[in-house]
């Protein structure tokens, strides 16, 4: 059990650093009403988690990569905070677009990862 916690913790450490790095890289390149950095990490995370399920990784790999790394890489709390901010700024079109892209895109990318992983030998 302690080994599992260490796997999740180590994966989470790396995932949080990767999210921070990628989110800030995206923000520097695309400034807009929609928080593209958070959207990008959540789409990539959905794709990768779907891929892990699709290829059927071991429990150990899922703890390290799925629960740990991707759990910290993707960010539901930031999504909610940014959505509240858009609502408070009366940016209704940006808010609706952000939520639609997040949820529909997240489901799409998870499906792509899952079916793509399932196709691998």
Give the contacts of 84 (CB within 8 A, at least 6 positions apart).
none
Mean pLDDT score of the chain, rounded to an integer? Answer: 93
Q: What is the pTM of this model?
A: 0.88
Per-residue confidence (pLDDT) for residue 46, from 0 to 100: 95
Residues 73-117: tens digit of each pLDDT:
998 889 999 999 999 999 999 999 999 999 999 999 999 999 987
Taking a C-beta distance cutoff of 8 angstroms, is the pair 15, 76 a contact? no
Q: Is 97 annotated as a binding residue?
A: no
Q: Is 71 annotated as a binding residue?
A: yes
Taking a C-beta distance cutoff of 8 angstroms, is the pair 61, 52 a contact? yes
Residues 3-56: tens digit of each pLDDT:
999 999 999 999 999 999 999 999 999 877 889 999 999 999 999 999 999 999
Domain boundaries, the chain: 2-119
């Amino acid at each position: 059990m302690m080994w599992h916690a260490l796997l999740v913790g180590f994966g989470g450490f790396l995932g949080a650093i990767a999210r921070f790095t990628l989110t800030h890289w995206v923000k520097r390149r695309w400034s807009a009403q929609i928080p593209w950095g958070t959207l990008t990490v959540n789409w990539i995370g959905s794709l990768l988690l779907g891929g892990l399920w699709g290829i059927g990784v071991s429990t150990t790999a899922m703890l390290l990569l799925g629960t740990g790394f991707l759990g910290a890489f993707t960010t539901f709390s930031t999504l909610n905070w940014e959505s509240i901010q858009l609502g408070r700024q009366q940016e209704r079109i940006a808010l609706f677009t952000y939520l639609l892209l997040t949820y529909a895109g997240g489901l799409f990318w998870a499906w792509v990862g899952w079916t793509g992983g399932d196709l691998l030998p």
